[in-house]
């Protein structure tokens, strides 16, 4: 495989390159294919999710997941946070679908930089935040926790904005350059509150002023041309709900606390990893 392309070439190769399917990700909920996008001897590895392979959901309109993936990427880009890997919607071998740059995750065990994990209740590492306690099939009591890491906190704020209904541990990736990404945003941006995440460790803490300033700027952008762009991907009502969530964060700039037992939505996705 050719050396990694310069960042400026990724968009062009993903948009215009020839998609070659390397294999299917069998564990994915929806049809997902590992591919290479190739153009002019430059290759970008990517994940391709055709719309016709989306599994129907009871609470999200059929055939909208690819557009939501793109909308999440555009919001991440507008914020300047770079959380979502380069994403677009294009034709592929199985029709129109979302195409996203593949992130090669670092070997966490080798470098000791895992960001989420399960630990015995009496062995939570320093600098980690507990989320919940559980009992394993072997009757061992464990705690689900994540690192008190600024990169993760930014993802948690992003999830508040896009109303992410599926922030599993496996949807957070760290690469060898130290960047932390969020993936799988097909079920986000619903008009109703549906936040499900494993990143509850900051509940009740203040959101940083830097993040709030970026959210103020995002709100202004949505009121202008950027809002028009979002309306080509999600409904007017969903755009309005996004603005409402931003205002709610700015008016009460604290990470929310999970609420369980109310309505059909659990605050923790299942499985959490």
Q: How large is the C-alpha radius of gyration of the chain?
A: 19
Per-residue pLDDT reduced to its tens digit, 183-193: 999 999 999 99
Residues above pLDDT 90, as percent of the chain: 76
For the cut 60, the answer to whether the pLDDT of residue 111 exceeds it is: no
**pLDDT of amino acid 112:** 42
For the cut 50, the answer to whether the pLDDT of residue 4 exceeds it is: no
Residue 3 pLDDT level (bands cut at 50, 70, 90):
very low
For the cut 70, the answer to whether the pLDDT of residue 233 exceeds it is: yes
Q: Among residues 74, 19, 17, which one has the least CA distance to residue 49?
A: 19
For the cut 50, the answer to whether the pLDDT of residue 215 exceeds it is: yes
Q: What's this model's pTM, rounded to 2 decimal places?
A: 0.92
Per-residue pLDDT reduced to its tens digit, 34-43: 999 999 989 9
H/E run at residue 128: strand 128-135
Residue 107 pLDDT level (bands cut at 50, 70, 90):
low
**Please, is 34 exposed, middle or buried when counting C-beta atoms within 10 Å of its C-beta (0-12, 13-18, 19+)?**
middle
DSSP assignment letter at 94: T
**pLDDT of amino acid 50:** 98
**Over residues 221-248, mean pLDDT:** 98
**pLDDT of amino acid 230:** 98
**pLDDT of amino acid 260:** 65
Per-residue pLDDT reduced to its tens digit, 22-80: 999 988 889 999 999 999 989 999 999 999 999 999 989 999 999 999 999 999 999 99
Whether 180 contacts 109, CB under 8 Å: no
DSSP line for 220-273: HHHTTHHHHHHTTTS-HHHHHHHHHHHHHHHHS-BPPPP--SSSS--SS-SS--
Q: Which residues are CB-contacts of 215 (< 8 A; sequence separation ≥ 6)?
A: 79, 157, 161, 246, 249, 250
């Amino acid at each position: 495989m050719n050396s990694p392309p310069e960042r400026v070439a990724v968009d062009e190769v993903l948009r215009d390159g020839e998609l070659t399917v390397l294999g299917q990700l069998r564990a994915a909920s929806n049809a997902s294919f590992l591919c290479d996008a190739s153009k002019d001897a430059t290759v970008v590895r990517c994940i391709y999710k055709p719309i016709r392979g989306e599994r129907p959901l009871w609470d999200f309109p059929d055939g909208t997941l690819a557009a939501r993936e793109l909308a999440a990427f555009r919001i991440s880009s507008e914020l300047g946070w770079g959380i979502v890997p380069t994403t677009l919607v294009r034709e592929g071998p199985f029709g129109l679908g979302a195409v996203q740059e593949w992130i090669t995750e670092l070997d966490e065990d080798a470098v000791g930089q895992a960001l989420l994990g399960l630990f015995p209740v009496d062995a939570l590492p320093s600098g980690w935040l507990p989320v919940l306690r559980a009992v394993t099939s072997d009757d061992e009591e464990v705690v689900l926790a994540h690192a008190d890491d600024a990169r993760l906190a930014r993802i948690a704020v992003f999830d508040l904005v896009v109303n992410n209904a599926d922030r599993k541990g496996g949807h957070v990736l760290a690469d060898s350059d130290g960047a932390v990404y969020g993936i799988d945003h097909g079920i986000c941006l619903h008009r109703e509150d549906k936040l499900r995440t494993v990143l509850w460790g900051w509940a009740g803490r203040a959101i940083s002023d830097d993040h709030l300033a970026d959210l103020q700027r995002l709100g202004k952008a949505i009121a202008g041309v950027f809002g028009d762009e979002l309306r080509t991907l999600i409904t007017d009502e969903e755009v309005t709900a996004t603005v409402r969530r931003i205002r709610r964060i700015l008016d009460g700039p604290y990470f929310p606390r999970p609420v369980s037992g109310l309505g059909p939505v659990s605050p923790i996705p299942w499985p959490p990893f």
